[in-house]
Chain A
């Protein structure tokens, strides 16, 4: 499924990626940043694919129903507590972005850092769009859902990507693959799980407890959270 993105991208998120302290980029960088945003929007081909699974709580742990895929870790269990099903989606900006970033790195690093940040924000916004599309298509009347939760977040292993991508037939559906080291290719891509329940659920985002970056996270030092919170 195709998705759309609009100019401007989320500038607050963009400022955060680039390490600007306030919510606004400094005037000196603004023209370049706007140009980077437009270039990313022109090159991106945002797409998503999704599917719904019943959740099976077995002796081995939490399974995506009908598969042998185990959702390991305390954080995802907490996030999906109270949910009987889950939506799995994958979203990508496409391979054109990878080519643009590779080229920019050779030409102008400052520009390439801005493009990279803009692409990351665009990927987040695409995930946002994918989540809305998936919920509209797969949530039934009267069902409630959680926020999205991705492999690598908290203690849900990033290696899970190796199983989720084939499960969604993502290579054929949206051109999204995963490398042997569990890196999504094209790079600016997201996979995530959304819990579905019959009553209100909030889900628990991973927080910092299991985060690998907790020792050195600049946001945490400033009392902030990632994930747009």
Chain B
């Protein structure tokens, strides 16, 4: 849309408002069907906007997706084609353009809703193909509140047609959407995905949108457009009350922002657009200063990188037995716990590496990215040598990530940079190539130059490039330590890009590694390091980060440093003397449970400890819960303490290289369509406490997947939960399929709306009224 630099592009106003005014739309099965029932009326509305001065009209297809139009008797293709033709009928003879309008699907994507990213993509793609075939000039995705949904729509548009793509989201006065997406996160993500213009529409009037539009203009170099409502709606009847004159007056400040197009949304009519067009006539949008920020983000967290920023390194199986086991088992909870504990410790970005021989890394990368973004709002750094794994992770990532990594090898650059460009990711470039790691700073700088040039060619901005000058070990290559620091300075000063280092390699082979790591980190920070890939759960690393921030004048008035240390008290001695493992579990004291277990392990073996101490302790807890003298939160605190004790036992077993304890393998899941899983999670923890191995398929799980897993993992007991009457049918279906495929499998069910008689009716073997009862069922099935 570069042709509009010299003048404003005027967009149309509300379609729904005009339909209401004309007295059409109600009772006809929704406004989208009117394009078929009364195309002339739709064309007339478009014509009215164009005659008022609009240069572009949006088709009447806001809700014309398959979810919303199912049961209408018409296909999406029919509806979109009719609407596009109705708009073209007005636009072509006036020499104006038509945008295929795509609104939100009306259902929320996972994890808040149940729609998958892939389903959303398919729904949008269907609209795009129809609109493009019918002759639309561009695609506009509008009134969006969920960044993930916008990403699905943008990919659907870009992959299913060659038209320009615009996207606008709708914000509250806080500058966030209903789903929590900030305007900065939208800007970083959509600019990365390569939309042609982005904007803000609906929800608010010109006055309320103005500060948000300013923020958007400061966050992107792309053309920006706005379509505000005619003020705020009346809370009683929903009407919009500001006049066209008032609207126009309120739109005047937008002339200073450097936006390229404006129009109206709810409550606006051709009268509003006429005045808007008059106001903009002969005016030239001012140039905006170039934005040059290094950003990565999730919808709710935009992280600007400008100086030392901690990247958590722990989501990586290298050298970690439990992590490898978790990956092999598909145990997401272990990985999620790692993600959250790093966040709490101060990580700002998380590196995600799931490479393990024998594992389907692309599939695992996708699953892990989806899982982490469900519970953790930190931006991710996707770490893989396999372009397929990167592609899968990048596609489903919600926001703007970093790719770790490329290097100076041509074939790596050729394979990975196009992916970074397509999905809008920042990229890490390692200063090594076919010849290995060069020793001198100048040689590494030369590779950095090559990488930066390749990024320039691929269209990746300098602000999105992070060069890794590589840490060598001080024990083996002591004089090269200085070369790394020198290379950082050269790259920062001469290439205008950011830098990154994995720090802990420096100390390999030497004692007191923490001291060397922290010291090297401080030196690298002074040389200009931006991203430090470290273990944030090691206190000395975070200490070094906080100290460097003070010494480099980044932590103004030492505020963060003071907050961290001013009131620091010496660490308390954890284990209370004389507390037994039984007390610790009953009272839910995790540290004490851990301490007691460590002591007891020395006296008795793992199995005796489990059977003679831990399980009897849990039985007491369970019995008191049944009696009603101990309550659910306390039961769960006790379970967590027991879990801490079991973790100590597990590590002891793993350290001896023995197979993990399992009293039996149980598959649990919340059935298809249902997303209430707290009960299932409680059952899981309690069963794990008792030594059962749990395969948790999560929530909203299709019957086929449950059956397939039951067969693959030779499951003898399956637990299913459902909370809604509407999802009991999928529980029944799951049971039916399980019975047919694996008759020896026992099934227990639970959930708010279930009763013993209903459980029997749908063919379950057991009804579990609570987690305690599920243990009794497991004991019966597996024997004790």
Contacts and interface: CB of A to CB of B under 8 A. Distances in A.
Asked if chains A and B come from one complex, the reply is: yes
A223 interface: no
Interface stretch (B105-113, B423-431, B575-583): B105-113
21 contacts: A29-B631, A95-B108, A95-B179, A99-B375, A103-B340, A105-B681, A106-B337, A108-B640, A113-B633, A171-B104, A172-B143, A177-B108, A179-B107, A179-B114, A181-B730, A183-B727, A185-B107, A185-B108, A187-B112, A216-B755, A216-B769
Interface in A109-138: 109-110, 112-114, 116, 133, 137-138
Given A1-B235, A159-B726, A95 B757 contact: no
Nearest to B638: A110
Interface of B: 26-27, 68, 104, 106-108, 111-115, 143, 145, 170, 177-180, 202-203, 235-236, 238, 300, 333, 336-337, 340, 374-377, 588, 628, 631-634, 636-637, 639-640, 673-678, 681-682, 685, 724-727, 730, 752-753, 755-757, 769
Which A-B residue pairs are the 3 nearest by beta carbons? A175-B178, A181-B673, A110-B636
Given A66-B26, A174-B178, A215 B756 contact: yes
A94 B633 contact: no
A1 B234 CA distance: 10
Given A98-B111, A180-B673, A185-B114, A19 B631 contact: yes
A73 interface: no
Contacts of B107: 177-180, 185
Contacts of A116: 678
B180 A99 contact: yes
Interface string A153-191: 000001100000010000110110111111101110000
Contact of A102 (B26, B111, B753): B111
Nearest to B639: A109
A98 B674 CA distance: 14
B724 A107 contact: no
A102 B726 contact: no
A171 B375 CA distance: 23
B236 A106 contact: no
A116 B236 CA distance: 32
A1 B235 CA distance: 7
Given A102-B375, A212-B753, A19 B632 contact: yes
Chain A CB within 10 Å, residue with most, of B179, B203, B674: B179
A119 B115 CA distance: 23
A212 B757 CA distance: 12
Interface in A178-227: 178-183, 185-187, 212-213, 215-216
A213 B633 CA distance: 23
Contacts of B238: 51
Given A174-B178, A181-B727, A215-B756, A110 B637 contact: yes
B674 A113 contact: no
Nearest to A96: B180
A213 B753 CA distance: 6
B375 A103 contact: yes
A32 interface: yes
Contacts of B112: 95, 98-99, 185-187
Contacts of A103: 340, 375-376
